[in-house]
Amino acid sequence: MAEALDPAIPAEVDALAKRVLDEACSRGLMLATAESCTGGLLASLLTDIPGASHAFERGFVTYTDDAKLEMLGVPLAMLETNGAVSAPVARAMAEGALAFSRADVAVAITGFADGGSGEAGLVHFACARAGEAARHRVERFGEIGRAAVRLAALKTALAMLHEALGDPVDPT
């Protein structure tokens, strides 16, 4: 059970995070996160679960385009052409998290958590494993509110991590 985030994190998300960490530990793999709209919430969750957080290598909170460029190496031209909330940028974020860490598996989250953009709930995810192409997923959670979008994004990102570790789960 997550300590600092309890009861804010739903039990099923907490359980999925524990499964991801247990799987990473059993395989001797390290994890990294690259987060934008979730603002480090996934990294916080993965380090809040006692006994398995040593499988988490590091997290990047890259809320701005400059942070994506400077911390993850996302090309400026890609950001300008596609926008920060896009499949290419999500993939580049996940690949950058691998390149700038010692992790074996990285997940990236970039999206619009609220209606300021006109695309509330649009979130792009990517998961990269060393030596493999990054996998992309897009979700349109809709106008369910900022907190609900962020929690739904956690669940999707954890499911992608779990799948990359070799044990697929249905995030719904």
Tens of pLDDT, residue by residue over 135-159, are: 999 999 988 888 899 999 999 999 9
Within a domain: residue 57?
Answer: yes
Domain carrying residue 52: 11-164
Count structural domains, the chain: 1
Question: How wide is the angle at C-alpha 8 spanned by C-alphas 12 and 32, nearest 5°?
Answer: 70
Within a domain: residue 60?
Answer: yes
Count of all residues that appear for the chain in the document:
172
CB atoms within 10 A of CB 163: 17
Within a domain: residue 172?
Answer: no
State the pLDDT at residue 91.
97
Tens of pLDDT, residue by residue over 8-53, are: 788 899 999 999 999 999 999 999 999 999 999 999 999 988 887 7
Q: Residue 171 pLDDT more than 90?
A: no
Within a domain: residue 1?
Answer: no
Domain harbouring 37, CATH code: 3.90.950.20
Backbone angles phi, psi at 21, to 5 degrees: -65, -40
CB 21 within 8 A of CB 53: yes
Task: Please report where in the chains the tokens 């290598």 appear, as a residue.
Answer: 57
